């Protein structure tokens, strides 16, 4: 039987290893069109080395950080620079006026990949969220690790089944994003606010169930935890985030 001192030493070594080694996020674009990923760190977490960049079809880009860290990734589409030099996107725009988001998040509707990295051999948490609506299919694949570490995927094109009252269209009438009911209507029953601010009083709606039906592994509304949308992994080397998996 291992001695308490040995067990303590192993735990301490694991803690040091997790705090000293970087976690690498590799972002891939499998879409047949250009995507401009954006990144945003949570409060108290270090900003990543890039907060926005361009990925042509088939390209990938890697970023690293050390735990503890929290933040999110999303894809922007239909981006361009106007005559004044201001950069903007049809979906997921962070309104920074540049390719880099510089601390701004993506404007809904947008599909999100969210992470909380922890130190000391604890469990990372990660999820895909359509709580702010949908613009792109996306997946998260952990690299290595233990205790869970499952792939989570939203591979369906929710835009293809988006109700007309939630649809965001381009100038040609094509649906390029699908709003959440909260974003579209702003009412407490869809936003889980006021008298609907608990899991008991804010059940799934007919709108959130459309998102859930297309992407059952992703959060479809604020209190979707009961449906197993949050994933965990202990000490992976990194995560691969793929648009259009």
Domains and CATH numbers, the chain: 4-243 (2.60.110.10)
What is the band of 120 on the pLDDT scale with cuts at 50, 70, 90? confident
What's the average model confidence in pLDDT over 130-154? 96
What's the average model confidence in pLDDT over 15-43? 85
Identify the pLDDT of residue 4: 45
Beta strand extents in 77-222 (DSSP E only) = 80-81, 87-88, 112-117, 123-129, 138-143, 152-154, 167-169, 175-178
Asked which of 67-76, 117-126, 199-208 is least confident by mean pLDDT, the reply is 117-126
Identify the pLDDT of residue 6: 41
What's the average model confidence in pLDDT over 212-231? 92
Rounded distance between C-alpha atoms, residue 245 and residue 63, angstroms: 19
Q: What is the pTM of this model?
A: 0.90
Identify the pLDDT of residue 176: 98
Contact status, residue 125 vs residue 42, Cβ threshold 8 Å: no
What's the average model confidence in pLDDT over 66-87? 97
């Amino acid at each position: 039987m291992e001695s308490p001192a040995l067990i303590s030493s192993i735990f301490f070594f694991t803690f040091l290893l997790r705090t000293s080694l970087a976690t690498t996020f590799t972002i891939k674009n499998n879409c047949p069109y250009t995507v401009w990923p954006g990144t945003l760190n949570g409060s108290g977490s270090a900003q990543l080395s890039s907060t926005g960049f361009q990925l042509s079809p088939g390209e990938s880009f890697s970023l690293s950080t050390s735990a503890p860290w929290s933040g999110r990734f999303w894809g922007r589409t239909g981006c361009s620079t106007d005559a004044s030099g201001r950069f903007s996107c049809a979906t997921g725009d962070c309104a920074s006026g540049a390719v880099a988001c510089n601390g701004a998040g993506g404007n809904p509707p947008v599909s999100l990949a969210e992470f909380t990295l922890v130190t000391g051999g604890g469990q990372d948490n990660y999820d895909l969220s359509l709580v702010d609506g949908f613009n792109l299919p996306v997946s998260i694949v952990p690299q290595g690790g233990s205790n869970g570490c499952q792939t989570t995927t939203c591979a369906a094109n929710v835009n293809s089944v988006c109700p007309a009252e939630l649809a965001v269209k381009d100038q040609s009438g094509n649906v390029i994003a699908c709003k959440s009911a909260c974003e579209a209507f702003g009412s407490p029953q869809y936003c889980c606010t006021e008298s609907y601010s608990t899991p008991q009083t804010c059940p799934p709606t007919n709108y959130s169930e459309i998102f859930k039906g297309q992407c059952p592994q992703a959060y479809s509304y604020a209190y979707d935890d009961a449906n197993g949308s949050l994933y965990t992994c202990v000490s992976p080397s990194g995560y691969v985030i793929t648009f259009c998996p």
